Amino acid sequence: MAQLMMHRDVLKGYHKLPTKVQKRVASFMDRFQADPSDPSLHVHKLDETMVDSKVRGANLPDGYRAIIIAPEKGDTYLMVHIDVHDKAYAWAKNKRFEMHPKTGVFQVFDVEEMQSAVAQQPETFSPADNYPLSGLSHDNLFKAGVPEPLIPAVKAISSDESLEALSDYLPKDCRDVLMGIAAGMTLDEALDEMLGLDATPAPELVPDGPGDFTNVAKRANFDLVLVKGEEHLKDILQASLEEWRIFLHPYQKKLVAWETKGPMNINGSAGTGKTVCLIHRAVHLANHLDNPKDKVLLTTFTTNLSITLKAYIRQLDENAADCIEVTNLHALSRTICTRSGWKGRIGDDEDFDSIWASIWVNPELGQLPMTEDEMVNEYWQVIDANGIDNEEDYLTTVRSGRPRISRKQRRQAWPVFRAFQRGLKKRNILTVEGAVHQARLSVEQKNFHKYRHVLVDETQDFSLEALKLIRSLCPIEEGFSDPLCTVGDGHQRIYRTKIPMSRAGIEIRGRSRRLKINYRTSEQIRKYAQAMLQGIEIDDLDGGQVSIAGDHSAFKGPEPIIAPCKGPIEEAKAIVAWVQKLMKDYGLEDYAICITPYKPEIVTALTDANLSILQLKPREVDPGKDEPGVRLGTIKRIKGLEFRAIALACADPDDPMNSLAKAEILDRCERYVAATRAREHLLVTICH
């Protein structure tokens, strides 16, 4: 029986096709797979007009045509395009559709188009000295996945500008590998890190010639999915096509199924598909559980993200979802404490203020080594965050990122901290971190079970205690495979200073991998956001530094707009004008636009302009297209969300955006997080 694979672009454009065409394509699937030569399907050769003789046309209603690529070997066919007759054939005319004989990746390319792009390169692109791509031989370019007919054109690339300009004409796999090499990787490193491919792929992964599409699904495939029939097509398309469910990058696929003996880590800048990887991995592990009683834990730092993940897991695989517990760290800690017999509650600011107040008025309070405010800060940042409950641990703890204090000062401070902890105990309350600490002790004392697999998102924001809790919940001592997978990004740490995972006994050395292709944000916004953190050493979550070499976005877009404004009224006006332009000129819906942080002047100006608004509340899901309104949210609230357009309202003279070099690292990272929520459009208002 024949197989029919569909291209990502066909599926992406499916809902825009006339209903009659959609219906015919759906019924076509089953009939074609039963007999591709069935004359009622009207599939015909187009030899004379097409550069590639494998191209076939299939008649659809209303003058539409599907472009189908027939194999030269095997019986796997590819449906790669649908449009009205003339447009469909014009699209296919000069293209070639081939499996790369070395990398085994399916590629679509147009030699003529590439050659004319090379000829039209501006003279301002002067060749760089010792440009890494210039040194590559014909054979190595072929090994890098460049299609043979494009090699002469690629040999003409001699600067980053030229690579960037020609990247739109290269198949994306070889674009990614070439970008890796241009950023300083060796060819083998680039194949591994940009594509997830071994330098010498296993023989079964290499096609038997460029026209052999057999086993495409098992290879490093970006864009093709095997559609088993009409029902399967419906399932793939659901309400709208969610590309992340169907089309993983080959490197993401590799990480999803990577079998490890110990904890593994995935890092990558914002928007590189870490969470997508984690969701797929959770489902993959749930589908391979040996014991039906075993459970997978998927946890996050923020409540908002855990709500989103729960929905995504169900969307991906209903059955697997039953074996996956999705919860955020604090809810998890509370559950463990309660199930282990604790009957208290988590305190709030009022409780804590009243305990501190009782300490400051105690006549026996000795001399303080710092101000009261500094003492309170020290408690939350050091004692609470590290789960310290005795003086010796406080004297020896590493206080990274905190102002220096002597051992004598620590000794003087400890009785105050002990008094605070006694105050908590007397009232039978825990701090949030205290609950994490109690939870860890409960698990270590075997009052709560371990999970078969644990997966963690937003690990960069976990405290040492939280990391220790995670460590205690996964079966590392038992020697089970894939005990823990952590995901995080040092660029996005907005709650605390860095803590190497090894300090919590989580050893990821040799099992840490980095994703480099940004799917969310245009290249222009990615570069702008990255520059906001220039000069800051970004860690790999384990005490090392990350390299952003080779990082790039999957698509391009307009440059971010920087608007200097004199005061909040002018800022609000600039934002309203920008929102109106996006809606009028780019057809953006109001719910696809978000303003952060927001101020009363902005709310008034939007309302006066008859624009509806929706304030994003903590712990409530963004209703998306179901509820209109320009979104307004704090930076912390919009972490984990994404929008087609973001306005970062930073015109207040005190906003860190106006003096980035002097700003606190956490503030800079917050602004990085906000900017990278934007897919296509970014407006930044700054102080004039």
Ligand X SMILES: Nc1ncnc2c1ncn2[C@@H]1O[C@H](COP(=O)(O)OP(=O)(O)OP(=O)(O)O)[C@@H](O)[C@H]1O
Distance CA 443, CA 445 (A): 5
Residue among 75 and 642 whose Cβ is closer to ligand X: 642
271 annotated to a ligand binding site: yes
Residue among 136 and 673 whose Cβ is closer to ligand X: 673
Which of 162-195 are b and which e, b meaning 16 or more Cβ less than 10 Å from the residue's Cβ?
A: bbbbbbebbbbbbbbbbbbbbbebebebbbbbbb
Give 3-state DSSP helix, strand, coil % of the chain, rounded to 5: 45, 15, 40
142 near ligand X (CB under 6 A)? no
Which of 273-285 are b and which e, b meaning 16 or more Cβ less than 10 Å from the residue's Cβ?
A: bbbbbbbbbbbbb
User: What residues contact 9, with CB distance under 8 A and at least 6 apart?
Assistant: 80, 81, 223
Residue among 56 and 516 whose Cβ is closer to ligand X: 516
Residue among 12 and 87 whose Cβ is closer to ligand X: 12
Residue among 180 and 271 whose Cβ is closer to ligand X: 271
Question: Looking up tokens 């299609």, which residue turns up?
Answer: 147
243 near ligand X (CB under 6 A)? yes
CB of 305 to ligand X, least distance (A): 8
* Cβ(489)–Cβ(267) below 8 Å: yes
71 near ligand X (CB under 6 A)? no
CB of 187 to ligand X, least distance (A): 24
490 near ligand X (CB under 6 A)? no
Q: Which of 32, 97, 106, 247 binds ligand X (CB under 6 A)?
A: 247
CB of 280 to ligand X, least distance (A): 9
270 annotated to a ligand binding site: yes
CB of 525 to ligand X, least distance (A): 12
Q: How many residues make contact with ligand X (CB under 6 A)?
A: 21
Distance CA 592, CA 572 (A): 18
Q: Which of 268, 434, 500, 557 binds ligand X (CB under 6 A)?
A: 268
User: For 77, phi and psi rounded to 5 degrees?
Assistant: -105, 160
Stretch that binds ligand X, among 33-41, 246-254, 437-445, 530-538 (CB under 6 A): 246-254
CB of 214 to ligand X, least distance (A): 23
Q: Could you give the 3-state DSSP secondary structure of residue 309?
A: helix
CB of 273 to ligand X, least distance (A): 3
Q: Which two tokens stand for residue 313?
A: 């897991």
Q: Which of 212, 489, 601, 670 binds ligand X (CB under 6 A)?
A: 489
Burial, 26: exposed, middle or buried (Cβ in 10 Å; 0-12, 13-18, 19+)? middle
550 annotated to a ligand binding site: no
The interface mask with ligand X, positions 636-655, x = CB under 6 A, is: ----x-x-------------
User: Comparing C-alpha atoms, which of 285, 339, 269 is closest to residue 517?
Assistant: 269
271 near ligand X (CB under 6 A)? yes
272 annotated to a ligand binding site: yes
User: Comparing C-alpha atoms, which of 325, 500, 521, 496 is closest to residue 486?
Assistant: 500
Which residues are paired to 298 by β-bridges? 326, 455
Stretch that binds ligand X, among 66-74, 272-280, 535-543, 624-632 (CB under 6 A): 272-280
Distance CA 457, CA 339 (A): 24
274 annotated to a ligand binding site: yes
283 near ligand X (CB under 6 A)? no
- Report 510-569 residues binding ligand X (CB under 6 A): 519-520
Farthest-apart Cα atoms in the chain, separation: 98
Pairing relationship of beta strands 484-488 and 512-515 according to DSSP bridges: unpaired
Stretch that binds ligand X, among 241-249, 293-301, 402-410, 606-614 (CB under 6 A): 241-249
* Cβ(541)–Cβ(488) below 8 Å: yes
The distance from CA 394 to its chain's CA centroid, rounded to whole angstroms, is: 37
Residue among 370 and 548 whose Cβ is closer to ligand X: 548
Stretch that binds ligand X, among 173-181, 233-241, 264-272, 558-566 (CB under 6 A): 264-272
670 near ligand X (CB under 6 A)? no
Distance CA 642, CA 677 (A): 5
244 near ligand X (CB under 6 A)? yes
Q: Which of 33, 107, 221, 272 binds ligand X (CB under 6 A)?
A: 272
Pairing relationship of beta strands 106-109 and 453-456 according to DSSP bridges: unpaired
Residue among 151 and 236 whose Cβ is closer to ligand X: 236
676 near ligand X (CB under 6 A)? yes
Please state the residue numbers annotated as binding site: 268-275
Binding site residues, ligand X, CB under 6 A = 243-244, 247-249, 252, 268, 270-276, 489, 492, 519-520, 640, 642, 676
Binding site listing for ATP: 268-275
